[in-house]
Amino acid sequence: MSLSGEICLVTGAFGFLGKRIIMLLLEEGVAEIRLLDKVIIPKVIQELYNCKSAHHTKVNVFEGDIRAKGDLRKACRGASTVIHTASIIDVTGSVDYNELYEVNLLLETCFQENVTSFIYTSSIEVVGPNTQGDPVFNGDEETPYFSQLKFPYSKTKWEAEQMVLKVNGQPLSNGGSLASCALRPTYIYGDGCRFLQGHMTNGVRNRNVLLRICHSRAKVNPVYVGNVAFAHVLAARALKDTQKRITVGGNFYFISDDTPHVSYSDFSYMVMSPLGFVIQERPVLPFSLLFFLSFLLEKLQTFLRPFFKFTPPLNRQLLTMLNTPFTFSYQKAHRDLGYTPRYDWEESRKYTTDWLASSFQTMREQFKAHK
């Protein structure tokens, strides 16, 4: 089923993932795309208007806060599908709980405005890894796992996901009902990934030697941003299909692709080695010592909390996440959504490496100038 004729709202529309979803919605020939974000990027708007597909789609830009009821009502009014990608990604525990908790207000607005489809961008972190570092090898939606969520990001993502799935099938005031689902991408990479850019920056400072922050045996399955965006469009299609809506509504799906299963550090090396980077053979310090140092930093954070906010650069949960094998299959998404990666590994790698190369030389020159 096509999304032709639909009015789609994308939150976090100018973000890393949101931009990709918008481009695919243009290809779908939707009647209208509404872009909601706190920060508007004129360059992205120009790219949208230059896209050939945009001639058949109305594009409306809403600058506003996802936590502001007035902004939400205005953006949702008349929309049929909401794709909620907006999020504050936090792996260090630096963001307060309340700043990450907004999906409740958005769902309330969807009911008020009779939105019929809701797709929520969740995260692999709603599963784990847990504090014991229990591994998962090619898991799926039925894999039993004892999760222990510590950071506000993981907790609120989990709670928001449960809210989204719980409202599936609930009636709307116009006689229809809301269908909802959640997508759990693994580690998203690609052109525009600020985490990869950060690793490259550290590598340049270290004379083109990438820092190893995890063991090679701690394999994960990164997923290309273009494939994650494609999965969102397929989910939106499924929720519009009378038959698929029954199957997909109320469910969550892991989204991965055919990117090789490697550690986070080895993945950075795979996409940056064509630029001349090498990587350390082993972490700078043994895992046990890093874990102990993280423990001390967390205790210091607790001690300083009454006086000022201190966020440790490393913590035990992040260290455990980086050093735990944690991979998941996309077969359920393939079965229910018809998801097959749109971009293969070689394409995904080339796009990512080319993007990194575009800023590599500038980064080196800036570093030399500040020495």
CATH number at residue 153: 3.40.50.720
The pLDDT value given to residue 347: 97
7-11 and 32-37 strand pairing:
parallel
Structural domain includes residue 79: yes
pLDDT tier, 178 (very low <50, low <70, confident <90, very high otherwise) = very high
Residue 126 lies in a domain: yes
pLDDT tens column, 211-236: 998 999 999 999 999 999 999 999 99
CA distances from 326 to 232, 258, 300, 329 (A): 22, 15, 30, 11
Q: Which of 100, 64, 243, 235 minimizes the C-alpha distance to 165?
A: 235
Question: Residue 200 domain-assigned?
Answer: no
| Distance from C-alpha of 127 to C-alpha of 326, rounded to nearest angstrom | 10
362 pLDDT band, cuts 50/70/90, is: confident
Whether the pLDDT of residue 95 is over 80: the answer is no
Q: How many domains does the chain have?
A: 1
Residue 103 lies in a domain: yes
Q: Judge whether 349 lies within some domain.
A: no
The answer as to whether 225 is a domain residue is: yes
DSSP classification of residue 261: -
Buried b (16+ CB within 10 A) or exposed e, 135-150: bbeebeeeeeeeeebe
Work out the burial of residue 371: count CB atoms within 10 Å of its CB; fewer than 13 is exposed, 13-18 middle, 19 or more buried: exposed
Distance (Å, rounded) from C-alpha 137 to C-alpha 127? 13
pLDDT, tens only, 230-245: 999 999 999 999 999 9
Place of tokens 């020495």: 371
Q: Is residue 272 part of a domain?
A: no
Q: Which residues are catalytic?
A: 153
pTM, whole model, 2 decimals?
0.92
Tell me: the pLDDT tens digits for 322-337?
999 999 999 999 999 9
Quick one: tokens of 92? 């260090």
Residue type, 328: F
CA–CA gap between residue 315 and residue 301 (Å, rounded): 10
Q: Is the dihedral of CA 48, 49, 54, 56 positive or negative?
A: positive
Q: Tell me: pLDDT of 149 over 80.
A: no
- What range does the domain containing 25 cover? 7-193+221-262+326-344
Residue 361 counted as domain residue: no
